[in-house]
Amino acid sequence: MKALIAVLLACTLAACATAPQPVVATATLLRDAAFAPSTEAIDAGQVMALSDEMRSYLRRELGAQLRSNGTRQGLLDALYTKSQLKLEYDTAMTRTAAQAFEARAGNCLSLTLMTAAFAKELGLPVHYQNVLVDELWSRVGNLQFVAGHVNLRLGRRHTEFKVYGDEAENLVVDFMPGAQIRSQRSLDIDESVIVAMYMNNRAAESLSEGKVDQAYWWARAAVLHEPRYLGGINTLGVIYRRHGELDAAARAFREVLQREPANTPALANLVVVLRETGQTEEADRLNLRLAEIQPYPPFVFYDQGRDAMGAGDFKRARDLFNREISRNAYFHELHFWLALANYALGDMVEVRRELTLAKDNSTTLRDRELYSAKLDSLRVKRSY
Q: What is the pLDDT of residues 194-219, one digit of tens each?
A: 999 999 999 999 998 999 999 999 99
Among 35-44, 76-85, 162-171, name the one with the lowest average pLDDT: 162-171
Which residue range(s) make up the domain with 362?
300-383
What angle, 0 to 180 degrees and rounded to 10, lies between the N-to-C axes of helices 191-208 and 230-242?
20
Whether 253 contacts 270, CB under 8 Å = yes
**pLDDT recorded at residue 294:** 85
Q: How confident is the model at residue 381 (pLDDT cuts 50, 70, 90)?
A: low
pLDDT in tens, 281-306: 999 999 999 999 888 877 788 889 99
Residue 374 maps to which CATH number? 1.25.40.10
**Residue 119 and residue 74 share a domain:** yes
**Residue 307 and residue 264 share a domain:** no
d(CA 323, CA 334): 10
- For 46-75, what is the mean pLDDT? 90
**Residue 124 and residue 9 share a domain:** yes
Average pLDDT over the chain, rounded to an integer: 84
Highest mean pLDDT among 71-85, 131-145, 242-256: 242-256
Q: How confident is the model at residue 134 (pLDDT cuts 50, 70, 90)?
A: low
Closest by CA to 7, choosing from 277, 207, 247, is 207
Q: How confident is the model at residue 159 (pLDDT cuts 50, 70, 90)?
A: low
**pLDDT recorded at residue 20:** 46
**pLDDT recorded at residue 12:** 39
**pLDDT recorded at residue 82:** 58
Whether 292 contacts 301, CB under 8 Å = no
**Residue 178 and residue 108 share a domain:** yes
**pLDDT recorded at residue 363:** 63
Q: Show which of 271, 297, 323 is a domain's final residue.
A: 297
Q: Show which of 279, 297, 315 is a domain's final residue.
A: 297
**Residue 185 and residue 66 share a domain:** yes
Whether 175 contacts 85, CB under 8 Å = no
**Residue 149 and residue 293 share a domain:** yes
Quote the number of domains for the chain. Answer: 2
* Kind of pairing between the strands at 105-106 and 88-89: parallel
CA distance readout (Å), 104 to 48, 79, 237:
15, 10, 33
- For 163-174, what is the mean pLDDT? 68
The separation between CA 361 and the C-alpha centre of its own chain, rounded to angstroms, equals: 14
pLDDT in tens, 344-378: 999 999 999 999 988 887 767 778 888 888 887 77
**Residue 311 and residue 288 share a domain:** no
d(CA 374, CA 146): 27
